[in-house]
Amino acid sequence: MRPIIALTGDSMVAPSPVINLNYADMAPNMIKNAIVKVGGAPLILPYPEDDAAAASLAAQYVDVFDGLVLPGGPDVDPTFYQEEPIQAMGRATYQKDRFEIALIKATLKANKPIFAICRGIQILNVALGGNLYQDLPSQNPQATIRHAQAAPGQWPTHHVAITPGSHLAALLGTSSYVNSRHHQAVKDVAASLKVTAKAPDGVVEAVESKESNLILGVQWHPENMWQQFPEQLPLFADIVKRAGGDGNE
């Protein structure tokens, strides 16, 4: 049996010429394909519009899946780390944030693994008590690398240094060339997490659990890269393996 790997969904908020796609729940197709490729069974979880249902749905969903992927998406609402929004912050979806925070906590309580991507690493850090740069260019003068690349998203744009001996290093080695499409980033790291990769300018590029193998998060988008750069595919094989599969096609 393939392990069931849940992906949190987003909503299409722009008008669509096809009426049934207006405000449709969705998740990245390339993550779905990567999970299938490495032996998992993807399942998309839409967030509820009803805030009161977030915690109860999260608790119920956890019984259904074996591992959780947190994809990229909109900015994280700074309300969840006790800040007001600055001018440079982008679109946030409060209901999505609230649901994902509840889902992260429920997943970890159930001792099930998480793989977080881009926005995913950010909401993960917030859920566990950390905070974010709402906008790297305006809030972190040391962030000198262009983290919102102009190149097409499947192509790498800067290097990351990976901590030797970390779980991420076992998957990718101590250096990787990655893509970069973000303007928010981890600032103060949650107490239960450790940083295991950084960009040359010091921006956090990966985190892991301090005391277990339940959490791995990366700031880049391996789902956009794995077909051209198969060395990124082990990140998806890893969540399938941690969820009880063998991580093979």
Of the residues 100, 205, 208, 223, only one is catalytic, namely 223
Catalytic option among 147, 182, 183, 221: 221
What confidence category does residue 248 fall into, taking pLDDT thresholds of 50, 70 and 90?
Answer: confident
pLDDT value at residue 123: 98
pLDDT at 19: 62
Q: Please name which of 19, 25, 20, 21 lies closest in space to residue 7, comparing C-alpha atoms.
A: 25
Say what the pLDDT of residue 171 is.
98
Phi, psi torsion values for 93, nearest 5 degrees = -125, 100
> 3-state class of 14 per DSSP?
coil
Residue 110 CA: distances (Å) to CA of 19, 142, 150: 39, 38, 40
Mean pLDDT value across residues 91-108: 96
Give me the residue spans of the domains in the chain. Answer: 2-241
CA 170 to the chain's CA centroid: 19
> Is 223 considered catalytic here?
yes
Percent of the chain with pLDDT over 90: 88
Bridge pairing between strands 4-8 and 67-70: parallel
As a whole number, mean pLDDT of residues 146-156 equals 95
Alpha carbon distance 183, 246 (integer Å)? 35
Please pick, among 118, 147, 182, 205, the residue that the annotation labels catalytic.
118
Choosing among 3.10.20.30, 3.40.50.880, 3.30.70.1150, 3.40.120.10, the CATH entry for 2-241 is 3.40.50.880
* Residue 247 pLDDT level (bands cut at 50, 70, 90): confident
What is the per-residue pLDDT across 199-241, written as a single tens digit (0 to 9) for each?
Answer: 999 999 999 999 999 999 999 999 999 999 999 999 999 999 9
Catalytic residue at 100? no
pLDDT digit string, tens, across residues 34-67: 999 999 999 999 999 898 899 999 999 999 999 9
Q: With 80 as the cut, is the pLDDT of residue 124 above it?
A: yes
Region 100-105: mean pLDDT is: 98
What are the C-alpha distances in Å from 167 to residues 37, 190, 213, 220?
Answer: 21, 18, 8, 17
* Alpha carbon distances (Å) from 6 to 15, 32, 63, 160, 238: 27, 10, 11, 27, 14
Query: Would the pLDDT of 104 be above 80?
Result: yes
pTM for the predicted model, two decimal places: 0.95
Band (18; pLDDT cuts 50, 70, 90) = low
Q: In the predicted model, is pLDDT for residue 146 greater than 80?
A: yes
Check residue 57 and give its pLDDT. Answer: 96
